[in-house]
Structure 1
């Protein structure tokens, strides 16, 4: 029997709670045989079983993960009659913050479980056929959405690692002439023959030591991936060694791409090059600037090349879309947070990749990895039995060559893939099994393509090591990864950086979330799919995770809106995306809006937002001056001298969210003033609908807004007051302006610190 713990699905983003005392749990479990004998059923299940999801709401207070899983086992014991132990029916337990499990049941067993106290719903675990970039379909943006004839005139500037020009995602077949507004150029080099009517511009920048090969060609893959996610052509049959097979596409396949190579392998992306690229992109006539770049520290606006460059872009009516950073899951880790740019967090989709391990004694473990290799069988060896005394954390190649190495002590998938997996690969191993230990946050959702067969499993009972010790010829099979449904997506990936903004705590950052975990898109064929030296496999498409992948989703969505509303300001486009975003579940993300902003983008709804919150350069200047920035500092950001003639509170910025800072158990009262512009029906009346938890009182005045024409504005105030005693650090509420057709939603966040 496989240990139950090896099946526990790591919803790693949930916070730990206090443990149930072991003695009480032992007494509860000791009653199980008595409970079982009280259940008599008139049918004995046969082999007609399928997978059901049993959802039971929130995790019981005072229970640790093991205790919750034990409750699931008891439910199976009470309902299922089978020669197989209860743990054999449970495929996965959800036990970190919410409560539920997946089990293999007959239809009658599922019905009986649905009748039990505490069970909210039971439904089949449906396996659907997925498309490659199913992220767009997952967020409700199918291929047949309305399209504007101006889409082919939209230009997305991508600051990244360049482009792989031969990719089918960037083929220009069927494209018309380059838009007349384009003023850029294409730098030709011996390895880069030029641009076409799809990617219409290519430049490169390098300021620093060393001498890389100066070219716009993407030798790394990152730039091609982000560019194709935003605006790549529709390419059927895209896959990575048959994984994720389907049609790859960007949000705006008819739009044009201009690439600005500012990042170089092993050399990074310098501020000087970033600012130069911003400067060129603005002058070249792009409509959107997509920047999947971050820093290792928090920089004030006037020291931040991306903040400076994006302000200049926004002032020219260019939408700046920037990744939030990959330093999560702790608060205050966000890297790009200027109030004039769109900061994008990374969420999961409804897909995940799991890899099965089968021991020679038929024990099975299901773990995490993107393993593109066919199933292999080899001798097992524990890594601790094959140390290389010449180096720390390394393996003796003579002992592990052509064997499957078992490693332990790792706390996340990502850590293991950068550590144990690479170490085993360099030592010549046939494969690697990592016995992981999940902490508060694991990395279940950002698998990295492995350079050799591998799987990250949970074996708290050390069954794998026990098996190795029990036989003179231990063997195992590592199967190829399989795609499975991630039923509870979306939630924020553990790596995604969290707010609040370290310098501007009244502006919600990140602004939005978008798919950023295991995204398949175009890739460079000059780089191996695992990006590990010695791995010679290359492919035209590859899976990559990060806020770098989330950012171009928003860039593409912004381009989509821009094609319908070319005169909308960047703030209007951001507002449309924020106020129509799909709200996310704070039970799955304890940092709530500081994790996912207004929610996950929904470009289809954003096309008709009803009302928008607009802001321009003058508003941001007043904001900076009111927050203590000097004329000199503001000039660095804006390029304008003596800009600080007046200042305003940061709460006065016309931003589509409201953030309040409060002290525990201390009463607070905070006032906001906002103005909305009517972009929906010419004649319409909106009513304020407030949702707030206990302890918050929110007053909106006036609570009705009446419009008689398009472009008309209306101003209202919001007062947030209350007292928060204990509880979460982030308390969520919302304001929705509703006219019956449009619901314009703004988050209200109280941060208790």
Structure 2
């Protein structure tokens, strides 16, 4: 079924968490992934009280994992393989490529777990880079691990559903799931993540999922069910500048994660296209694609490569060069802050302008050479947050009336715990590197647990809030500005652009504001059942999904646009449409809110009533939003917002509208 979303990510001290840190007590976590490394210092249980009596889970033993590996931090662990073996065949654990237990051999599960709930670790670093205090978003939370995916590849649908059932029965509070699948998406009544999460949410469990790493292309977002919190990845202000100097004494700066000994030495530099293994491989060699380089000509040299649309990864180029016995890589690519791990040799990422300057030097010099300097770590010297280049974008290809992703959180160059059993060396026959306890990585796999940690904190403050209420609090208080210049947030792409709701939903998360949102948009599980009916699924499929006998009323008109989400998304606006929303006051009992609209271009928006007055007998009020297109041509998606303001709170939801005309395809 699902596949692991590529993980490239904490734990740096993320300042907005600090206000909430002291109120967290015993929220529980669950991770559907490839296990956990229990000996990691991030999972120490120092100063933690006893396991909550409401916990019903177990610590399941297996290879290199016994009951003693659980503690007051890791309070539960299970592993699932019967579905995998029925679907894919017997698990191959020869050569210790996997453990038949909850133990993590890949690193992904350990990384994401420590991002969400890792304990405080002083002087954590990746080989001296990003050194400082490492901690998870909710460091006092408990962890339970449900290992359903394996390093040999794949996750079984049966195992995933079994894990969902166990997690619900065990009593978890938050499900953090860094899994997903690529387009085309399965229907909600066939997608096991949608099915399992539906039942979790019906039991009051908030489910947080990754948006996917297929950006910067539209309609690539995964995990699009409205009951899930879907998380995009954004950048942080930490950078890893790495200088290199050419033979003409010109110095350029890129980014790298290199701390080896190939520094301050002169090396010959060649262009990938010039050392192609065959004439037919020149295009592939330009980006240093797999097996495209002549090993004789690459040996002992630094190679300059340019990203192509077929080969965008510096990691692939690095593996290719290492396989050809090269000693370094300068990789020219579209601007991005995501930095690849350098395995044994320097891998400096630069933009195409710098790459072109290097190439011009090489073509005008008889014996071009280059010298690398060590990577440094800087903080606060680059604007953030920006939506990551790789982060999957909306609209949802399955239900465009449901805005996805919902929210963005840090997911680029994050330091977090890692499994020492995992190797960083690409599969090119190189010698294994020493094991690592911490690694820097990027991906929506890692932005997901950032939100999971925040959800645990919110849930500890507001234990009676539903999953929909928690999602509403996150979305309506998010920021659409950067942290430094106060300008509109940017999305990395080709080219960079102003970020919109298809990039980051409500915006970049602000944890402290989410704890006090003022108003929330709540949803009952029955509303999600109506949503499934509106998708056109038959009664049998909906009944199987909900585990309740359901007869969809085909005679009654129920619009997906009226699902009480903290957003309004109209994929086809023909002239005018009225939608309804209900808000619940969770702030001061006596509150007065006024509507403020930023209408999408080409659309007139009217909110009625424009003032909401809450008191002791009226804490839940309904309003309608009428949208009218003033365009007489087929339009594209445009964006605006609706905010309710009381002088303290700004409760903002995105407005997404695509005007259309009835006779667009008519003959002229």
1:168-206 CA distance string (max 9 Å, x none): 100112111111111111111241133111011111112
C-alpha deviation, 1:260, in angstroms: 0.8
Supply the distance in 2 between the matched residues of 1:218 and 1:643 (Cα, whole angstroms). Answer: 44
Partner of 1:58: none
Counterpart secondary structure, 2:166: helix
Superposition deviation, residue 376 in structure 1: 4.7
Counterpart check, 1:196 vs 2:91: no
Using the alignment, how far apart are the partners of 1:515 and 1:575 within structure 2?
A: 19
What is the total number of aligned residue pairs between the two structures?
608
Q: Which residue of 2 aligns with 1:67?
A: none
Counterpart in 1 of 2:568? 658
Task: State the partner residue of 1:432.
Answer: 329
Quote the Cα distance in structure 2 between the aligned partners of 1:543 and 1:635.
44
After superposition, the C-alpha distances for 1:66-117 in whole angstroms (9 at most, x for unaligned) are: xxxxxxxxxxxxxxxxxxxxxxxxxxxxxxxxxxxxxxxxxxxxxxxxxxxx
Residue 293 of structure 2: which of 390, 395, 402 is its match? 395
1:727 and 1:634 map into 2 onto residues whose CA distance is 34
Per-residue CA deviation, residues 359-399 of structure 1 (Å, 9 max, x unaligned), is 22212222233223242524214244544469974334444
Give the secondary-structure state (helix, strand or coil) at the position aligned to 2:179.
Answer: coil
Counterpart for residue 14 of structure 2: 136
Which structure has the higher relative contact order (CA within 8 Å, separation 6+)?
2
Q: Provide the residue aligned with 2:384 in structure 1.
A: 489
User: What's the counterpart of residue 168 of structure 2?
Assistant: 282
Larger-gyration structure (1/2): 1
Q: How far 1:467 moved relative to its partner?
A: 4.5
Of residues 325, 331, 342 in structure 1, which corresponds to 2:212? 325
User: Where in structure 2 are the equivalents of 1:249-264 lying within 5 Å?
Assistant: 249-264=135-150
Q: Which of 396, 415, 421 is 1:520 aligned to?
A: 415
Listed as ranges, the matches of 1:473-622 within 5 Å are 473-484=367-378, 485=380, 487-529=382-424, 532=427, 534=430, 535-584=432-481, 585=488, 588=491, 589=497, 592-622=500-530
With over 3 angstroms needed to count, the CA separation of the structure-2 counterparts of 1:752 and 1:379, relative to structure 1, is farther
Assess if the C-alpha contact under 8 Å between 1:679 and 1:711 holds in 2.
no
Aligned to 2:14, what secondary structure does the other structure show?
helix
Shift of 1:469: 5.7
Asked if residue 676 in structure 1 is aligned to residue 583 in structure 2, the reply is yes
1:236 aligned residue (110, 118, 122): 122
CA contact (8 A) 1:514 1:601 kept: yes
* Distance across 2 between alignment mates of 1:487 and 1:662: 39
Instruction: Say which is worse superposed, 358-367 or 517-526, in terms of deviation.
Output: 358-367
SS of residue paired to 2:265: strand
Deviations 1:494-519 (Å, cap 9, x if unpaired)? 11111111222222111111111111
Give ranges in structure 1 of 5+ residues lacking alignment: 1-131
Q: Is residue 340 of structure 2 the alignment partner of residue 448 of structure 1?
A: yes
Question: Do the aligned partners of 2:387 and 2:499 also contact (CA within 8 Å) in 1?
Answer: no
Report what 2:494 is aligned to: none
How far off its partner does 1:486 sit? Answer: 5.3
Name the structure 2 match of 1:723.
Answer: 630
2: distance between equivalents of 1:414 and 1:538? 29
| C-alpha contact 2:480 2:489 (8 A) present in aligned 1 | no
SS in 1 for 2:517: coil
1:311-352 CA distance string (max 9 Å, x none): 010000000000011111111111110011101111111223
**For the Cα contact (< 8 Å) 1:243–1:482, is it kept in 2?**
yes
* Deviation of 1:708 (Å): 1.5
Q: Is the 8 A contact 1:344 1:512 kept in 2?
A: yes
Cα deviation for residue 613 of structure 1 reads 0.8
CA–CA distance in structure 1, aligned partners of residues 596 and 357 of structure 2: 55
**Contact map agreement 2:168 2:203 (CA 8 A) in 1:** yes
Mapped partners of 1:536, 1:145: distance in 2: 39
In structure 1, how many angstroms separate the alpha carbons of the residues matched to 2:533 and 2:600?
34
| 8 A contact 2:561–2:570 mirrored in 1 | no
Q: Secondary structure at the match of 1:455?
A: strand
**In structure 2, C-alpha distance between the alignment counterparts of 1:437 and 1:454, rounded to whole Å:** 12
Residue 43 of structure 2 corresponds to which residue in structure 1? 170
**Residue 416 and residue 335 in structure 1: after superposition, are their counterparts in 2 closer, same or farther (change >3 A)?**
closer
8 Å Cα contact 1:500/1:509 also seen in 2: yes
Q: Distance in 1 between matches of 2:634 and 2:264?
A: 50
2:236 is matched with 349
Deviations 1:694-725 (A, max 9, x none): 53221111111111138821111111112247
Say if 2:392 and 2:503, in contact at 8 Å, map to a contact too.
Answer: yes
- Taking a change above 3 Å as real, the CA distance of residues 565 and 281 of structure 1, as seen in their structure-2 partners, is same
- Cα distance in 2 for partners of 1:699, 1:668 equals 14
Provide the C-alpha distance between the structure 2 equivalents of 1:601 and 1:581, rounded to a whole number of angstroms: 5
Q: Distance in 1 between matches of 2:529 and 2:233?
A: 29
In the alignment, what sits opposite 1:315? 202
Judge conservation of contact 1:232–1:252 (CA < 8 Å) in 2: yes
What RMSD over aligned residues (CA atoms) do the two structures have, in Å? 2.5
Change (3 A) 1:719 1:466: closer
**CA separation of 1:239 and 1:693: change in aligned 2, threshold 3 A:** same
What's the TM-score once normalised by structure 2's chain length? 0.86
Taking structure 1 as the reference length, the TM-score comes to: 0.76
- Contact kept, 8 Å, 1:621 with 1:643, in 2: the verdict is no
Shift of 1:739: 1.5
